[in-house]
Structure 1
Amino acid sequence: MADRTGGEPQIDGRSTRWDEHKAQRQLELVDAAVALIEEEGARFRVQRLAERVGLPRSVLYRHFKDRASLEEMIRRRVVESFMRRMEPTLTFEGTVEEAVRRVVGAHLDWVAQHPRLYAYMGVGEHAMGDGSLVADAKTAIALMLGERFKDVLAAFGVRQAPIRSVAVGIVGFVDTCVNQWVRDPERELSEEELREMLCRSVWAVLDAALRDLGVELSPRQRVADLEGR
């Protein structure tokens, strides 16, 4: 209600507390949905979620605009989980080889631990730039990697280079390979073999890109040591 004296509108504390309660309840229901997907698969039924949380389906829907908004919040929660796993690895601590293995390993480990959530994200259906949450997550990872690559090049005196495109290509390659591996009922590679193949391939692409820019870097080079060059 507006302040009759002409000051700022007054905020009802009860309304604020209700909004906080509603947001917390939504989060609890979304987390329950994530757990249900982990157990039963990507094509979960809202009725099963209602049974899980002990609410009639009609009451459950009062917390969300519609099923689409519920699924958007679930997808956002899953993407947040994936990004929490990936972000700490997007550094070049240790050697270049260790950095590559850390990033690839984090991606593959999360997918292997959460295959149903990965399927629910519909990763293979979203390419970078399509405006979806999944695409935005891929783009964010590629941009962060691109910044790290720029740091390495700067240590060699290379200030301008199309290295972001290389980062986007690497993220797309790893993502496509992992997505195909998860969906393949007759996997030709074990998880460890896939991990090794991805690490070798990522290094090969990065090494070729660096050589084109006149930079020769050993995979056993510690990136921190480059700062004193």
Structure 2
Amino acid sequence: MAQRTGGEPQTDGRSTRWDEHKAQRKVELVDAAVALIEEEGSSFRVGRLAERVGLPRSVLYRHFKDRATLDELIRRRVVESFMRRMEPTMGFEGTIEESVERVVGAHLSWVAEHPRLYAYMGVGEHAMGDGSLVADAKSAIALMLGERFGDILKALGMGEAPIRSVAVGIVGFVDTAVNQWVRDPQRELSEDELRAMLCRSVWAVLDATLRDLGVELSPQQKVSDLEGI
């Protein structure tokens, strides 16, 4: 390591550039793994990835501590992709009905577009619980929904309500239903029919919760018309 005139150590620029190169290469390899799963299915093999990127397995593994590390990075990338789809839907623009359709539709459409990535989350040694989306992602969505539901209740002059539990239940119901649908070889519902059923069910839960609190709203109610939203 080079020394400054005053005796303080100076970082070698070549070392920094090499670290940046390795980090970028790791990102590229994870991207290649995700693309391979999208194309060929959830039975992902490191040897196949090595062939795809033109590297020996031994060289490929220099970028990752072990297979578990690679799997975790792939899972993170999948979750990031899912959350990028979901986050813009949490604004609750338009009517209540439109807001529900937007959130449910985003969840279902992402899974329908990326069934192999979704399946990868529940295969063998890569399994994440019940094969649904990673628990942290579902918790994040439930938290965002709970905050928005809470804002609406405050605007309606309501005090404390178990709205966070309702949000968790809604997210769990939608994800479980979608998880079963995407894995079912003989689907009883089309994607559009499933979306409509889920939206009706979510509204039924919200409506029942609001009525228990003494509030009646139409699904055609514009969220922006509610004071404070």
| Structure 2 length-normalised TM | 0.91
- Corresponding residue of 1:212: 212
Q: How far apart are 1:121 and its partner, in Å? A: 2.0
Aligned ranges 1:60-139 → 2 under 5 Å:
60-122=60-122, 125-126=128-129, 134-139=134-139
Q: Would you say the 8 A contact 2:142–2:168 is kept in 1? A: yes
Q: How far apart are 1:12 and its partner, in Å? A: 2.8
- Runs of at least 5 residues in structure 2 that lack an aligned partner in the other structure: none
CA distance in 2, matches of 1:142, 1:45: 33
CA distance in 1, matches of 2:4, 2:32: 45
1:30-52 deviations in Å (ceiling 9; x for gaps): 00000000011111111111111
CA distance in 2, matches of 1:7, 1:139: 50
- Corresponding residue of 2:42: 42
Q: Closer, same or farther in 2 for the Cα pair 1:104/1:5, shift >3 Å? A: same
- Corresponding residue of 2:155: 155
Q: How far apart are 1:141 and its partner, in Å? A: 0.3
| Structure 1 length-normalised TM | 0.91
Q: How far apart are 1:122 and its partner, in Å? A: 2.5
Give the letter for the 1:48 counterpart. Answer: R
- Runs of at least 5 residues in structure 1 that lack an aligned partner in the other structure: none
| RMSD of aligned Cα (Å) | 2.3
Q: How far apart are 1:118 and its partner, in Å? A: 0.6
Most deviating of 79-88 and 13-22: 13-22
- Corresponding residue of 1:184: 184
- Corresponding residue of 2:23: 23
CA distance in 1, matches of 2:122, 2:214: 39
Aligned length: 225
Q: How far apart are 1:57 and its partner, in Å? A: 1.1
1:112-132 deviations in Å (ceiling 9; x for gaps): 0000001112298437xxxx9
CA distance in 1, matches of 2:28, 2:228: 49
- Corresponding residue of 2:175: 175
